[in-house]
Amino acid sequence: MVIYKFGGTSVGTPTRMHKVAQLITSDPTDKIVVLSAVSGTTNTLVEIGELLLDNKHHIAKKIIEELEEKYKSFVDELFATEPGKAAGGEMIKDFFRQLHTLAIVPGFNEGNNKTLLAYGELISTHLFHHYLNEVQEPSVLLPALDFMTIDKEGEPEVENIGKRLSQLLQEQKSQFYITQGFICRNPAGQTDNLKRGGSDYTASLIGAAIHAEEVQIWTDIDGMHNNDPRIVQDTHPISELTFDEAAELAYFGAKILHPSSILPAQKYGIPVRLKSTMDETAAGTLIGVASAKADIKAIAAKDGITAIKIKSTRMLLAHGFLRRIFEVFEKYGTSIDMITTSEVAVSLTIDNKTHITKIVEELRAFGTVELDENQSIICIVGNMVSEKKGVLMKIFDAIPDIPVRMVSYGGSRNNISLLVDTNYKKEALMGLNEGIF
């Protein structure tokens, strides 16, 4: 079994949905297809939910009506036959009847909101399933809410998901299943979700839960690139990455994959392949094969970073100092990305500034605190452990004129991170591209 996941843009228009259908049905592999909501829909549902939580029913109702109009035209274009259009139209009418009912629930709460957010994926999968019926391609629609569950901590229950899903696959034998990304059920049995962008996570979870051969994530980019294509010209897709390398890249800006989404696949050793719906013949990126080749594979950058320096002579020969500093960040639920230390100072970076004022206030108890905002982490990813001597030299030679605020090397064999002022990011990415690739 192979798991295919198509994102919101891949099913964003009727034409693109036709394309996905064609791509999928021309491939004889047994498969489960995971779909996101039509692009833009989840954002609209979030907006509607916020209005309803805020008791602004009239505006919410209007936006629901506008959304329904969009889907009416979608149906008109998606289906070619009269019976197809009629069935699709009925289905949309029914879904929007449910949405309108939900919108007038007295005391609309967070739980109702989660039910609301699930409609994007419910609608896209039903549309796709109906379309496949129209073109006489047999498929089975598996409701994600029948097998995808999270525990009290919000963690997916991979074992249970596997058991229930295997049972469903047994009961309804097919070579072609469709299901919803993103949505799940919580321990109270209510509709919940795997957080924004969670459809990749669904695909990876399903792959892990039923020990699939492979998980394929289809987007409109032909894989993870060796540098940021928006900034550097002539980047190329990386053919192979290890899970660790992919995780580093996913976190540092390579928007193609949700950072936590490959974890289940990694845990169960299921390869993840990134493919492009715009060019299905392109090889894409295969994540999972451990490549022994030592080299630098990619560079990525993450903006919006704040560096914090805590300087204190009390640090000298003291123990427990770092713990106390970390506790401040823990208290405010703020995670630390980079860290470097000297005998009398610690510099670290955060990307979430929500509690910065309070954090700085508390850190002042330890010594002087300096802030540098608008920083970028440049992350160099690859297999660095056995790199020929001089990997650092190669990096710094490539960017002789860039002031580097922090360096992190040796944290893992897969990553060297540099912190620079965001004004230097472009120059740094281009210089490194020149010097390394």
Contact residues for ligand ASP (CB under 6 A)? 7-8, 36-37, 42, 120, 181-182, 196-199
Residue 42 interacting partner from Mg ion, ligand ASP, none (CB closer than 5 to 8 Å by kind): ligand ASP
Residue 198 interacting partner from ligand ASP, Mg ion, none (CB closer than 5 to 8 Å by kind): ligand ASP
Number of Cβ within 10 Å of residue 398's Cβ equals 19
Q: Which is nearer to Mg ion, 183 or 296 (CB)?
A: 183
Q: How far apart are CA 326 and CA 320, in angstroms?
A: 10
Residue 246 beta carbon to ligand ASP: minimum distance, rounded to whole angstroms: 17
Which residue sits closest to Mg ion, CB atoms considered?
7
Residue 39 beta carbon to Mg ion: minimum distance, rounded to whole angstroms: 9
Residues 371-400 that bind Mg ion (CB under 5 A): none
284 binds Mg ion (CB under 5 A): no
User: What angle is formed at CA 434 by the lines to CA 431 and CA 435, rounded to 5 degrees?
Assistant: 85
Residue 212 beta carbon to ligand ASP: minimum distance, rounded to whole angstroms: 19
Closest CA to 428 of 374, 377, 370: 377
Q: Distance from CA of residue 64 to its chain's centroid?
A: 27
Residue 398 beta carbon to Mg ion: minimum distance, rounded to whole angstroms: 33
367 binds Mg ion (CB under 5 A): no
Residue 312 interacting partner from Mg ion, ligand ASP, none (CB closer than 5 to 8 Å by kind): none
**Owner of token pair 């079994």:** 1
Residue 180 beta carbon to ligand ASP: minimum distance, rounded to whole angstroms: 9
Residue 367 interacting partner from ligand ASP, Mg ion, none (CB closer than 5 to 8 Å by kind): none
- Tell me the H-state helices in 104-239: 110-117, 119-134, 158-171, 199-209
Residue 46 beta carbon to ligand ASP: minimum distance, rounded to whole angstroms: 9
Judge whether 392 and 296 are in contact, CB under 8 Å.
Answer: no
Q: How far apart are CA 92 and CA 38, in angstroms?
A: 13
Residue 120 interacting partner from Mg ion, ligand ASP, none (CB closer than 5 to 8 Å by kind): ligand ASP
Q: Which is nearer to Mg ion, 7 or 253 (CB)?
A: 7
Residue 88 interacting partner from Mg ion, ligand ASP, none (CB closer than 5 to 8 Å by kind): none
Can you say whether residue 370 is alpha, beta or left, with left for phi > 0 and alpha for psi between -120 and 50 degrees?
A: beta
Q: Which is nearer to ligand ASP, 119 or 243 (CB)?
A: 119
Q: Name the segment binding Mg ion (CB under 5 A); options: 178-186, 190-198, 263-271, 295-303.
A: 190-198
Residue 88 beta carbon to Mg ion: minimum distance, rounded to whole angstroms: 24
Residue 181 beta carbon to ligand ASP: minimum distance, rounded to whole angstroms: 5
10 is written with which tokens?
Answer: 């891949």
Q: Is 153 exposed, middle or buried (0-12, 13-18, 19+ CB in 10 A)?
A: exposed
7 binds Mg ion (CB under 5 A): yes
Judge whether 391 and 436 are in contact, CB under 8 Å.
Answer: no
Q: Which is nearer to ligand ASP, 11 or 380 (CB)?
A: 11
Residue 20 beta carbon to ligand ASP: minimum distance, rounded to whole angstroms: 14
Judge whether 180 and 128 are in contact, CB under 8 Å.
Answer: no
Q: Which is nearer to ligand ASP, 258 or 297 (CB)?
A: 258
Judge whether 148 and 184 are in contact, CB under 8 Å.
Answer: yes
Q: Which is nearer to ligand ASP, 120 or 264 (CB)?
A: 120
Residue 37 interacting partner from Mg ion, ligand ASP, none (CB closer than 5 to 8 Å by kind): ligand ASP
Name the DSSP class of 279: -
Residue 413 beta carbon to ligand ASP: minimum distance, rounded to whole angstroms: 31
Q: Distance from CA of residue 17 to its chain's centroid?
A: 21
Residue 251 interacting partner from Mg ion, ligand ASP, none (CB closer than 5 to 8 Å by kind): none
Q: Which is nearer to ligand ASP, 8 or 288 (CB)?
A: 8
Q: What is the largest CA-CA distance in the chain?
A: 80
Pairing of strands 415-421, 368-382: antiparallel
Which residue sits closest to ligand ASP, CB atoms considered?
199
Structural Rg of the chain based on CA atoms: 24
Q: How far apart are CA 239 and CA 244, in angstroms?
A: 15
Neighbouring residues of 76: CB distance < 8 A, sequence distance ≥ 6: 85
Residues that bind Mg ion (CB under 5 A): 7, 197
